[in-house]
A and B are shown apart, each in its own frame.
Chain A
Amino acid sequence: MTGNESESELPVPPYPPIEPTAFDLIVIGTGLPESVISAAASASGKSVLHLDPNPFYGSHFSSLSIADLTHFLNSHSTPSSVCPDPLYSDVEISNYASRLLSQHPRNFNLDVSGPRVLFCADHAVDLMLKSGASHYLEFKSIDATFMLDADAKLCSVPDSRAAIFKDKSLGLMEKNQLMRFFKLVQGHLSLDESEENNVRISEEDLDSPFAEFLTKMKLPHKIKSIVLYAIAMADYDQEVSEYVLKTRDGINRLALYNSSIGRFQNALGALIYPIYGQGELPQAFCRRAAVKGCLYVLRMPVISLLTDQNSGSYKGVRLASGQDILSHKLVLDPSFTVPGSLASSHQQLQESFQAFSLSDNKGKVARGICITRSSLKPDLSNFLVIFPPRSLFPEQVTSIRVLQLGGNLAVCPLGMFVLYFSALCDEVNQGKKLLHAALSALQKLLVTGTAGNSSTAQSEDMEEAKPTLLWSALYIQDLSLGQFGSIISTPTPDGNLNYNDLLDATEKLYRKLYPNEELFPETTSPENSEDDAGLTLES
């Protein structure tokens, strides 16, 4: 399904009429939260109509070709009468090798909401297994994590016993300290309280800031940073910022990381990535929904909402085709703005609309995408890089996370690499500064990293060997958490590496939508029990 539809132009009316004309639930937008909701509702027997004005699945969670991504970002960053408050802003797209890139028009699957990975033990994986969406997906391991150290070099992140063993940069005593800390955490988390060496961390410590606790555990500075920013994935500078991670949360994040390692036999570490890009995830849930009877219509904008004449409450939607479809409930993609013709006449609806417009944003996330022709690390293609706070410039208060993916994940042609990076920011200028700093740091790393093996590249084609950076896109995305009213609005992609917070929010929305339903109850049906052992992991 990947991207095939995306090339085709919007079909011209007349649209084929939709049968039936009334549903339990209408979902607009095929982002991950919406797709999960429609799959869950369909699975529990609701009739669902799932619409998307785009010609592709995934909305803000999709993976697109260069052209489609450019178009998508541009169209969602220009304020218009339809969309006064667009989700994206300050889009900067630079193409340094248009001739080369145009040779591969279909070979890119660029994530709109990158960088993003899955932890083997995280919520998204559980949901995929429970829902059966995992049948449509294939994953590969992320090979390693690196962190920018004080000397502006990439040092590997020892995140497991085996990784500590293999690590070349830690001293013997540092290895011992880090492993003892991991054991302390494991002992704390272990259910078996009878074991004498399982020392519980005290309540007092659990409520203290995680950074303080690490200091108390006498961890050296370097190891502290590794734990805080490269394993617990703290967003903000933990020494000074107001967004301080509590020990309790830090330990939970370590627990997720730890239980991710070794959950699946073929997975090398804690992190995995879906082949063909993150856009596969919402698609897989849509497929699951379709199997359970959900009706899909792409390229179908909604032009207005229908409300009850008397109560003013939501009744249905009017499609671009002119058809009116009724439903009990409506779920909306957060970037959606329905022309207010209807809303304006009804005070009540108006209010509920404002409630989930983007005015509730709690910050922004700055995102960047690069396409390069060489890897940051000559011998690896898929890995994570952390630029911890203040590693790039003194005012950098948030951690920048970079994900490099190679052609073997089918996100770009072989021999090229896609680098995603993102950081949280309060306002646009701060975000832009972060993105530019990250981009120049990456370029510096690309130069030093490839210095060793440049000879082969040069011999091939001198002209094409330059430049390393082929294409880049920088953009700022607004954040919103989603809202529940008579109409439900789903959350925007967040600044995290995984989908855990998003899916927690989605599950909450679903429970409010259908208080008596569980999101994908554990099934005992034979179709799932056969191979619930795990995901398809290519090694």
Chain B
Amino acid sequence: MHGRPRKPLKPEDAAASAAKAEKLRVLQSQFLHNHHNHIYSKEAVELSTKLLETNPELYTAWNYRKLAVQHKLTENDSDPDSLKSILDEELRVVESALRQNFKSYGAWHHRKWILSKGHSSIDNELRLLDKFQKADSRNFHAWNYRRFVAASMNRSEEDELKYTEDMICNNFSNYSAWHNRSLLLSNLLKRKVEGFVSKEKVLPDEYEFVHQAIFTDPDDQSGWFYHLWLLDQTVRVDSPQLVSSWPTPGSDLILLGDRCLDGCASSPFTRFHLDSRTFPLVLYFNQAVEGVNSSTITVDSELNTNKDLVWKPLSSCNSKAAQVWVTQLNLPDGNTHSSKVFPVEVSLGHSQGIISSSGFHYSNPFCFAFRVSLQFVETQPVEALGKEIISWRDESFHNYNAHSQDSSPISSLYQLSIKNDNELTDFEWRAATIAKEIDHFRELLSLINCKIGKLTLARLLMAHDAMMCPPANKISHSEEVLELYNDLMRLDPTHVQYYKDQHSLVLLQQVTSNWESLLSRCFHYSNSPSNRGSPMCLQLKNLSLSRLGSFDKLLWVQMLDLSHNELRSIEGLEALQLLSCLNLSNNILGSFTALEPIRQLKSLRALNISYNEIGAHSIDTTKYLCSSPLSHSVGSEWNHGQTVIDDDIKSYWEAYFILKGLNLTQFDIVGNAIVNEKFKSFLIKVLPGLKWLDGEQLH
């Protein structure tokens, strides 16, 4: 069935197939006549049999037969014998249709439908399947059907697992068999069937098994895919976990009413300029979770009463689940001169309710505390960053000299890795397994040059690093991984974009993996170099980044320079709730919809998206994924109060959708195809707080 070359038709074959087509057309028109006139006579049904046996792809004919069967069944309601013979005839027709075409969806579906009537022997089906699967062991229709049959007859999953093993031993180039194996094992592990109680016992044998395939023939990808599944099973921690937060545990947060002019030696990383009477509390989980609310999270402080807190998921699609959750804590009214310290305690996991999308509960009671103090400068208005234009030029940035005390609050970012007891016991074999796999694939790659082997090694090394990360970072493999991805970009240009993305993620992990490397990319922003209280900017420019990540380590960032990269998307950036200045210039963002994460960045004041490709692509494939006046999914956003500019909305509704909720004071968009006078005037209307557009002061 596989790997057979297609031969060009000989002239006589072509003639034969034309004659066959003619015959089919005649049959088909007769059949349609019967169908439309609801004729279910013996002759009419036989005609459809003939038609389907020649062309099983005609799903209308299968539907007709279903109607005919229903019709006959109502006629012969009482007689079980004739009932059985009607259904048996259907099974026979399906079988001969399948002989004609193995991969006919309609035929397989019809068979399921007949069996669901419950009058036919299911045992026969397994015999039929054995025959079909012998003829083509990889046919996924047959495998699908096999799962249906096995479930219907309550065949044990262990038996089915053995069956996949036999099939794989016959020929291991069988995606369907490997796939079925992964399904069966997942179920057995989930149900904790005897012999499948722990992954630690089951997975090593599976690794051993798939190694035989991978090493025998590394060019065959079916084994690699199973290996990838195994790797995921090894690394995956089922229950959701809290990865990081802002403010960080144990930190002393100083909230400033205006630019700090005092001599306070506090770290710029824990200082936060305040625009409003609130500040965010951000929780970053290792996977998307639902059920974060005031009953699952307790925030204990003088600032708020817990039950008033509203937790919002930060996700681009309007889903109820998100990896990042945010709530706003209120500042006390009045009394702004007091240097009073407000302790805040956050606890979670004490009651159930936070649940991952795969149904696992957050089960690790955890509690952390931080302290907030306020410093207001009397005379200055609250508008801090809006007063002067932000310049992204190099001369505005000054090296940051780390003060010894600075390292403590930020390094606490890396202390928020909580391991529960269950995991600690698990950790040993997981780490050992990954280490063993790394050795195997290093050895393989020493013999042969193999793309998927390199990719797998890169994934293994990253999994290893992720596992070893807290707290004492042993040897990081990021350099080696980056080299592997560089290799892959050269070897496999077809998938260069994927490798670039992975390369970017690894690079960001490397940058954020420790305090020193992060600090080397931090700069003071100041127009006057002496000013020590000026904002801190994280510069990640010129890194060829095509994708962003490691947001869990960047929750504190207020000013971010991502210019001169290769970004098409800024997915995940919504996690940086403190962000007030963002430079995305000189990337390859192709549309406003690519900026969707900034909708959630309520602190954003200065945005630079100059020199991108917005408007350069005549077809914006993502445009229709985003909410529009025409779509009803997110309809509420369009229902009120935009009659003012409805004319421009027609042309720029995606720009409107992204920008309208923002309170930008500075916006740079020069160097994008979309920019013209009309668009500029639209921008001024949609962003009423705007003071500088492309560097020009507005009046």
Contact = CB atoms under 8 A, between A and B. Distances in A.
B447 A176 contact: yes
A142 to B, nearest CB: 17
A175 B216 contact: yes
B211 A172 contact: yes
A162 interface: yes
A176 B212 CA distance: 9
A200 B428 CA distance: 48
Contacts of A179: 216-217
Contacts of B212: 165-166, 172, 175
Contacts of B213: 165
B172 A180 contact: no
A176 B448 contact: yes
B170 interface: yes
A173 B443 contact: yes
A161 interface: yes
A498 to B, nearest CB: 25
Contacts of B440: 172
Contacts of A400: none
B377 to A, nearest CB: 68
B171 interface: yes
Given A173-B443, A173-B444, A176-B444, A162 B215 contact: no
Interface string A132-171: 0000000000000000000000000000011011100000
B291 interface: no
B247 interface: no
A176 B215 contact: yes
B218 interface: yes
A528 B447 CA distance: 50
B169 interface: yes
A175 B213 CA distance: 9
A313 interface: no
B444 A162 contact: no
A177 interface: yes
Interface in A167-213: 172-173, 175-177, 179-180
Given A173-B443, A179-B217, A162 B170 contact: yes
Interface residues of A, number: 12
B448 A180 contact: yes
Contacts of B447: 173, 176-177
B169 A162 contact: yes
Interface in B542-583: none
A179 B171 CA distance: 14
Contacts of B218: 176
Nearest to A265: B134
Contacts of A161: 171-172, 216-217
A173 B214 CA distance: 10
B444 A165 contact: no
B615 to A, nearest CB: 43
Decide if the interface of chain B is mainly helix, strand, loop or mixed: helix
B130 to A, nearest CB: 13
Most buried by B among A165, A173, A175: A165
Nearest to B446: A173
Contacts of B171: 161-162
Given A176-B215, A176-B218, A179-B216, A162 B443 contact: no
Interface string B336-362: 000000000000000000000000000
Contacts of A165: 169, 172, 212-213, 216
A162 to B, nearest CB: 6
B1 to A, nearest CB: 12
A172 B447 CA distance: 12
Contacts of A162: 169-172
Contacts of A164: 216
Nearest to B173: A161
Interface string A325-360: 000000000000000000000000000000000000
Contacts of B217: 161, 179
Interface in B409-466: 440, 443-444, 447-448
A162 B137 CA distance: 14
A177 B446 CA distance: 12
Nearest to B213: A165
Interface string B197-217: 000000000000001110111
B172 A175 contact: no
B388 to A, nearest CB: 62
A172 B171 CA distance: 18
Nearest to A192: B5
Contacts of B216: 161, 164-165, 175-176, 179
B173 to A, nearest CB: 8
Contacts of B169: 162, 165-166
Nearest to A176: B215
Contacts of A176: 215-216, 218, 444, 447-448
A218 to B, nearest CB: 9
A433 B636 CA distance: 97
Contacts of A173: 215, 443-444, 447
A168 to B, nearest CB: 9
A115 to B, nearest CB: 27
Nearest to B443: A173
Contacts of A166: 169, 212
A154 B215 CA distance: 23
A179 B173 CA distance: 14
A172 B208 CA distance: 10
Contacts of A177: 447
Nearest to A171: B215
A165 B212 CA distance: 5
A197 to B, nearest CB: 9
A180 B170 CA distance: 19
A173 B215 CA distance: 7
Contacts of A180: 448
B171 to A, nearest CB: 6
A180 B447 CA distance: 11
A180 B172 CA distance: 16
A175 B170 CA distance: 17
A165 B218 CA distance: 12
A217 to B, nearest CB: 12
Contacts of B211: 172
Interface in A275-308: none
A175 B215 contact: yes
A332 B172 CA distance: 51
Most buried by A among B217, B218, B440: B217
B162 to A, nearest CB: 15
A341 to B, nearest CB: 64
A495 B75 CA distance: 74
A172 B216 CA distance: 7
B131 to A, nearest CB: 12
Question: Which 3 residue pairs spanning A and B have beta carbons closest together?
Answer: A172-B215, A175-B216, A176-B215
Interface of A: 161-162, 164-166, 172-173, 175-177, 179-180
14 contacts: A161-B172, A161-B216, A162-B171, A162-B172, A164-B216, A166-B212, A172-B211, A172-B215, A172-B443, A173-B444, A176-B216, A176-B218, A177-B447, A180-B448
Given A161-B171, A179-B217, 7 more contacts: A161-B172, A162-B171, A165-B213, A173-B215, A175-B215, A176-B218, A176-B447
